Structure 1
């Protein structure tokens, strides 16, 4: 039964609230699961599951949930272990062909290891968003991204690292089958989905990726920083810079030299931020954090950060698969221009099969709601769009 958009949105938001009161410690996962070395990791192919454990507390809607550790490859082609969740409905798939796989990229909960989506802090924010997909009988696999909870550095919104993490999660779920795969991500997860759509034909050519849902994705790093600068969430600007430092340790000294003492302190503090920690840190103006008083957005187009920023900007490689872009016009977390610019760039580059949906609720909602509201409202149309491409 298909629910009207408003009813469906209320259902998803209510489910989110209901699950958010479940103690996070219900399924914590041991530190060893994430950090214990995997012998001969290089010997495994990308997407091979090297460790798994059941999470029966999360067996919702008649599904079986596992926490998994799978092999991926970082931007330098080195083997890395990435964690996530694999959720399989218990009932047999009644549709044609093998059960479809939804490769789900979660939004950002922060950049500290404890923020990963499959860990105890992330579970109550990850699971509600999966319910509409599980209700359709799809298998769902999530990624925690490279270096988030697991050894190595987490490159926040890193184009190659997030794309590979998501595509290898899809490999883990579809292993041994010809299952069709749909990439699905919202917010920071939308960046991963968009990046994976661009790289699927070259990094995962054997995967049958039939489409990518890209919701409210800050795919242009400069615009993201400009949108956060001076707001109550301004400390999250440091996520991007910390990620670049981690991904390019040989340039760490030069990057940190762009910041004054207060800026370097903010960089160090942000490395341990999850969820609302950035709010507690207080609002910042990036001009007050840099040595020369330049804005962070200006530095990200300069000689030190410019090439790294350009490498993580999405929209200039044409996906060879259908894409659906969704966002709310009053989104205060990610400006609507991000989605419009991404659609323009892809269309200009030659993408023909692109669906764009903007939601205008008539007024700005409270800030904690207006960003995820479009994601909830989009589910009925997104499910129909997915079904049409699976057919």
Structure 2
């Protein structure tokens, strides 16, 4: 396996366009300056780019990009991300593969986006093993995160489209094979992209999807967070629904009492440490009728919206690898097991599941990032086999 020693070195650190793009006007905000006639660009077109030389790691060239996507209502939206291209020639079969990388969540405030200064501290280390293999990597910040508009946290359609249009941005000129890759909240976007790739982006050669520790069932996610030190993050899901359905904001907010509505408002400006500092919450103390948030998410108001964002009911037509640590308490292992069961029941034919047991019941936070790091050698081997098979078919 190419550059395996580099990959293992990185693991240690992890555990501790069709239309030419233009630069942002001098002195203007890269993320917020409107793109003129955005709707005339094809999905995946890079409409703005700038070099980020301080991120040129492992001999790569890094750019911050703004590309055209479409929201769940098919309106044109600009989404930000990173495009990182190794300088050395690709020595594998066919064109250089593209990894369309969906970052995990650092929060739902604009300052938490993956290409922002805050997000980069987590995003870049996770990319190093992929760059070391010579893959091109493109990341997404998701629709409305860092850029104007509402961020639909864990939104199935919005997340999938953000990832797939990032893949278009990277692979359009080369028709390179694409693997979508996501862990934790990013795993949700990767899983959604796997389900929607054949219908939303049939022009992109998506050959596989890596889905790590993904909370693809929103109700299970909320149940797992309720009452814990990270309970404030369960409010992200509701804020995501509010952003996606502004016409229903009144009836959704009416499900909460005064304290609950205040917590929802506060969470809009949370990054990771803010949610932890907010303290433990019991959802029954936030709702108008004393119901748990999980119960509300299966009720008449939130139930249909929750169901629309539940992943696993549409079989992907491409190979998928699911990875998680069995003692992960950030995202319960039942999430990955349920996703695999649902996909297989829906007719998915190529699902690989890898579970890691580190025996760390006393250090529950370890399993969540560690499984992603430990999986790299197997995942890279899996990607290489997919690339070889795709080349043989062409």
Query: Residue in 2 aligned with 1:292?
Result: 289
Output the CA distance in 2 between the equivalents of 1:216 and 1:31. Answer: 38
Does the 8 Å CA contact 1:8/1:376 hold for their aligned counterparts?
Answer: no
| 2:376 matches 1:379 | yes
Residue 83 (structure 1) aligned to one of 77, 80, 96 = 80
Cα shift at 1:258:
0.3
Output the CA distance in 2 between the equivalents of 1:48 and 1:323. Answer: 27
SS in 2 for 1:327: strand
Does the 8 Å CA contact 2:65/2:82 hold for their aligned counterparts?
Answer: yes
Query: Residue in 2 aligned with 1:21?
Result: none
Consecutive unaligned residues of structure 2, counting only runs of 5 or more, are 17-25, 389-394
Does the 8 Å CA contact 2:52/2:64 hold for their aligned counterparts?
Answer: yes
Output the CA distance in 2 between the equivalents of 1:194 and 1:278. Answer: 25
Query: Residue in 2 aligned with 1:118?
Result: 115
Output the CA distance in 2 between the equivalents of 1:131 and 1:318. Answer: 31
Query: How large is the Cα RMSD of the aligned pairs?
Result: 1.7
Consecutive unaligned residues of structure 1, counting only runs of 5 or more, are 18-28
SS in 1 for 2:36: coil
Cα shift at 1:176:
1.5
Size of the aligned set, in residue pairs, is 379
Does the 8 Å CA contact 1:16/1:125 hold for their aligned counterparts?
Answer: no
| 2:155 matches 1:143 | no
Q: Any residues of structure 2 matched to 1:10-25 within 5 Å, and which?
A: 11-14=10-13, 17=16
SS in 2 for 1:276: helix
Output the CA distance in 2 between the equivalents of 1:285 and 1:65. Answer: 43
Cα shift at 1:13:
3.8
Query: Residue in 2 aligned with 1:37?
Result: 34
Output the CA distance in 1 between the equivalents of 2:374 and 2:261. Answer: 40
Output the CA distance in 2 between the equivalents of 1:62 and 1:149. Answer: 27
**Runs of 4+ residues over 6 Å off in structure 1:** 2-5
SS in 2 for 1:83: strand
Does the 8 Å CA contact 1:8/1:377 hold for their aligned counterparts?
Answer: no
Q: Any residues of structure 2 matched to 1:150-299 within 5 Å, and which?
A: 150-299=147-296
- Residues 255-314 of structure 1, C-alpha deviation per residue, up to 9 Å, x if partnerless? 000000110011000000001111100000000000100000000000100010000000
Relative distance call for 1:292 and 1:31 in structure 2 (3 A) is farther
TM-score scaled by length of structure 1: 0.94
Output the CA distance in 2 between the equivalents of 1:330 and 1:238. Answer: 24
TM-score scaled by length of structure 2: 0.93
